[in-house]
Structure 1
Amino acid sequence: MSTAEEISTLLVSNFGTDPLAIRPEVPLHQLRLDSLALEELRLLIEDRMGVDLDDVQLNSRDTWSRLVETIHGKAAA
């Protein structure tokens, strides 16, 4: 499963995100991810994908593609 697919699965199963709303240019706040939800997502990603995201700064204005690129970069390192 790709990084994007893993994160999409987490969003749909844990946050009730509409899969059709997940597109590269969509800001995370449009997926109903506020700062608390982003922190919860970060912990879920760390747990599921085994990556350390302590130094990653994401906010709700970041886009879906920025989230995926950031996580992919950490997973590949």
Structure 2
Amino acid sequence: MSTAKEINTLLVANFGADPGAIRPDVSLRQLRLDSLALEELRLLIEDRLDIDLDDVPLTSRDTVAELVAAVHRKAAA
């Protein structure tokens, strides 16, 4: 499964995001993720993809595409 699909799956399953609303240009804030939810998402991604995202800044203003790109960079490193 691709990084984007993994993240989409986590957003739907764990945060109740509407699958149709998850687009690359949508901010995490528009998906109703607050700072606590972002930290939970970070931990879920780390566990699912076996990577460390501690040094990746993550805010609700980031888009889905920015999140996917950051995770992809860390996974490839």
CA–CA distance in 2 between the matches of 1:7 and 1:25? 14
% identity of equivalent residues: 74
Residue identity opposite 1:4 in structure 2: A
Task: Provide the C-alpha distance between the structure 1 equivalents of 2:73 and 2:66, rounded to a whole number of angstroms.
Answer: 10
Q: What corresponds to 1:53 in structure 2?
A: 53
Unaligned runs of 5+ in 2: none
Task: Report the AA paired with residue 3 of structure 1.
Answer: T
Offset at 1:45?
A: 0.4
Deviation digits for residues 24-74 of structure 1 (CA, Å, limit 9, x no counterpart): 111110001111100000000000100000101110011110000000010
Runs of 4+ off more than 6 Å: none
Who is 1:65 aligned against? 65
Q: Structure 1 or 2: larger helix share?
A: 1
Aligned alpha-carbon RMSD (Å): 0.5
With structure 1 as the length reference, what TM-score do the two structures score?
0.98
- 3-state secondary structure, aligned to 2:57: coil
Give the TM-score taking structure 2 as reference length. 0.98
- Structure 1 residue ranges without an equivalent (≥5): none
In structure 2, distance between residues paired with 1:21 and 1:66: 16
